[in-house]
């Protein structure tokens, strides 16, 4: 007996993976930079940890709020489009059928077949067919503001926790070296993970994230050192 063949496509992972990697990357990089800046200004370990934890909380809440507002706006737009489409289906069924059939013709179907497909899909779920093929809205990809807010905040906090753990455990005399090194390793791993899951080359993905992370941490460390000697 032959089993069912199910194709696996990487594009289905891109949305959630991109959000998770970006959130973790932001948390890791911003917190590591903050830790390095305070450490370069000759802050004590407790002061560095307090600043880092404050950055984690503030960053997580900022990410959650921003994501919620953004995705909620998208959800509102989707609801408005669906309400408008529902009204059009109630008042102009023939016109909506022609519109859906025209979409299928544009995609390559024979006009007669397109009319038949449109009629059958509308008989099954008219609003669903128009939402998917006319508006580009599907149940799997509909905006979910609360889920997006929690996911974004969680990813940021997970990334921010890494440099804080290193800060708590590293020798105080070598804290900057330990935090910078481990953070660059974590950033490279995040870049490689995103690239691999998306089917892209791992090396360039890891290199891009590492380069910009090193630049950000270097600038922040320099600012901390400068103000630590002048303030």
| Sequence spans of domains, the chain | 16-230
Q: Is 59 exposed, middle or buried (0-12, 13-18, 19+ CB in 10 A)?
A: buried
Q: What is the pTM of this model?
A: 0.71
102: which residues sit within 8 A by CB, 6+ positions away?
114
pLDDT tens, position by position, 27-70: 999 999 999 999 999 889 999 999 999 999 999 999 889 888 88
Kind and range of the H or E element at 120?
helix 111-133
pLDDT tens, position by position, 188-206: 998 888 777 767 788 888 8
- The mean pLDDT of 166-177, rounded to a whole number, is 93
Query: Phi/psi zone of residue 108: left (φ > 0), alpha (ψ -120 to 50 degrees), beta?
Result: left
Residue with the bigger pLDDT between 189 and 82: it is: 189
């Amino acid at each position: 007996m032959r089993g069912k063949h199910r194709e696996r496509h990487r594009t289905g992972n891109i949305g959630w993976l991109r959000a998770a990697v970006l959130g973790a990357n932001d948390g890791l990089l911003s917190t590591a930079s903050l830790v390095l800046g305070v450490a370069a200004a000759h802050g004590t370990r407790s002061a560095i940890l307090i600043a880092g934890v404050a950055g984690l909380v503030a960053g997580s809440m900022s990410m959650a709020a921003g994501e919620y507002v953004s995705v909620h706006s998208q959800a509102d737009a989707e609801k408005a489009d669906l309400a408008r489409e529902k009204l059009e289906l109630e008042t102009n069924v023939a016109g909506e059928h022609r519109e859906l059939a025209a979409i299928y013709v544009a995609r390559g179907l024979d006009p007669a077949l397109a009319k038949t497909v449109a009629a059958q899909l509308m008989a099954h779920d008219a609003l669903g067919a128009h939402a998917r093929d006319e508006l580009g809205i599907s149940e799997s990809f509909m905006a979910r503001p609360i889920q997006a807010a929690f996911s974004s905040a969680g990813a940021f906090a997970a990334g921010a926790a890494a440099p804080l753990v290193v800060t708590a455990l590293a020798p105080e005399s070598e804290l900057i070296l330990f935090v910078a090194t481990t953070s660059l390793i974590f950033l490279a791993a995040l870049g490689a993970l995103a690239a691999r899951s998306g089917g892209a080359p791992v090396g360039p993905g890891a290199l891009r994230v590492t380069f910009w992370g090193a630049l950000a941490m270097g600038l922040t460390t320099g600012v901390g050192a400068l103000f630590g000697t002048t303030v």
